[in-house]
Copies of this chain bind each other. A is one copy, B any other.
Amino acid sequence: MANYDVIVVGSGVIGLSIAWQVGLTGRRVVIVDPHPGRGSSYAAAGMLAPVNEAAWGDEPLIELNVRSAAGWPSFARALETASDLPVGLRETGALLVAGDGSDHAQLEELFKFQQHLGLDSSWCTASTCRTLEPLLAPGVRGGILAPSDHQVDNRRVLAALGVAARRSGVQFLHASVLACLTSDGRISGVVMNDGELYGDLTIIAAGYASGAIAGLPDPPLAVRPVKGQILRLRTRDGRALLERTVRGLIGGQHVYIVPRADGGVVVGATSEEVGEDTSVTATACYELLRNAIHLLPAVGEIELVETLAALRPGSPDNAPLVGAASVAGLAYATGHYRNGVLLAPVTAEAIVALVEQGEIPDWASPFAPGRFANASTATSDPL
């Protein structure tokens, strides 16, 4: 009864990357989403920043982030070749600066941690920071240069992935997946709002909404919505505002300013545990602008063109859930939290290994979905 080899639920950057890469293996792939490419992947800033986003306690995730960042240049080249579309990879590094003395002390600790992990970063004095980015506010203290923290234009990536996936034979359905179908003790497909699909393997890549799909094996999927609000601005002359991404720790608050080559500027982002709320609030917009202008006064003079809120898929340990579920015929690729764009290459690589060899690679094993479920064990072969 199977119509497809693989059903991918969710066409954000993760689902699309998987569909494209699995499509290239010659399998029959379908991807299902009611609002393709309009979730957190669309709202994102596109930073590929494993170094300056490194956080204590996240060591396994940092290792995965570094691996994926290293894979992005070749992933971007392959994607541009496959789609004939640019994805806006800018290999310019990123600068993280401190707003006050307390922020400075925190960044010194972060720098020590980066050095301890052997990450690619260097400490910069205030003077060096301003030499690197002359538009920085005069009051800015020193900071950390991460020469390998790059950026990609996430919306261009989504567009290119859509074309590449189609060209690799992936079929697209605009529909909501309501539930998984079970047959003979395995997942055999999905129920949509307007019909059913049958497939040997169903991959849940629906971001924060993954857990709302009925018929998933217990316990409930450990993914929750984490609201992010973000602004998009634009320079008046269409030239890049900065040489590189500038992040600031300003009075304990984080803000980032990502300069696109075409003059676009992304300022973000809040992180709010408020459930499924995607409203843009006055306070978030106000605080993002305040912190960005404090860090870089020139932001005040450019155009504000978009305010947006979206829901990231948060997980208990901030790391993704990638791999086979506790029931055959089902896998997960969700919970990427703030790192969906960054982790797209390694997530697709891990899922392709699962599809072709029956298990995820060793380097991906710390992110197996079963790690939050004492009672459940992942099957070794979902197919």
Identify the A interface with B (CB < 8 A).
Answer: 231, 233, 236, 279-283, 285-286, 289-290, 292-293, 299-305, 307
Closest to A267 in B: B282
Collect the chain B residues with CB atoms within 8 Å of residue A301's CB.
281-283
Give how many copies assemble into the complex. 2
Nearest Cβ in chain B — how far from A342, in angstroms? 27
Using CB atoms, name the residue of chain B closest to A236: B279
Chain B residues with CB under 8 Å of A305's CB are 280
Q: How far is the CA of A289 from the CA of B283 in the complex (A)?
A: 8
In the complex with contacts A304-B307, A307-B304, A307-B307, A289-B281 CB distance below 8 A: no
Chain B residues near A300 (CB, 8 Å)?
A: 281-283, 286
Given the interface contacts A289-B289, A293-B286, does A281 sit within 8 Å of B307 by beta carbon?
A: no
Residues of B near A304 (CB, < 8 A) are: 280-282, 285, 307
Contacts of A283 in B (CB 8 A): 289, 293, 300-301
Q: State in angstroms the CA–CA spacing of A285 and B307 once bound together.
A: 11
Task: List, in ascending order, chain B residues with CB within 8 A of A302's CB.
Answer: 281-282
Residues on B with C-beta less than 8 A from A307 are 304, 307
Contact between chains at B279 and A299 (CB < 8 Å)? no
CA distance A300 to B285 in the complex (A): 9
Interface centre among A233, A301, A304 (most CB of B within 10 A): A304
Chain B residue nearest in CB terms to A277:
B236
Given contacts A285-B289, A286-B300, 4 further A-B contacts (CB under 8 A): A281-B303, A282-B302, A283-B301, A290-B290
Nearest B-chain residue to A309, judged by Cβ: B303
- With a cutoff of 8 Å between Cβ atoms, the chain B residues found around residue A282 in the complex are 231, 233, 289, 292-293, 299-304
Least CB distance, A268 to chain B, in whole angstroms: 14
Chain B's nearest CB lies how many Å from the CB of A253?
15
By a CB distance below 8 angstroms, the chain B residues around A289 are 282-283, 285-286, 289
Evaluate contact between B293 and A280: CB separation under 8 angstroms: no
Q: How far is the CB of A365 from chain B (nearest CB, A)?
A: 43
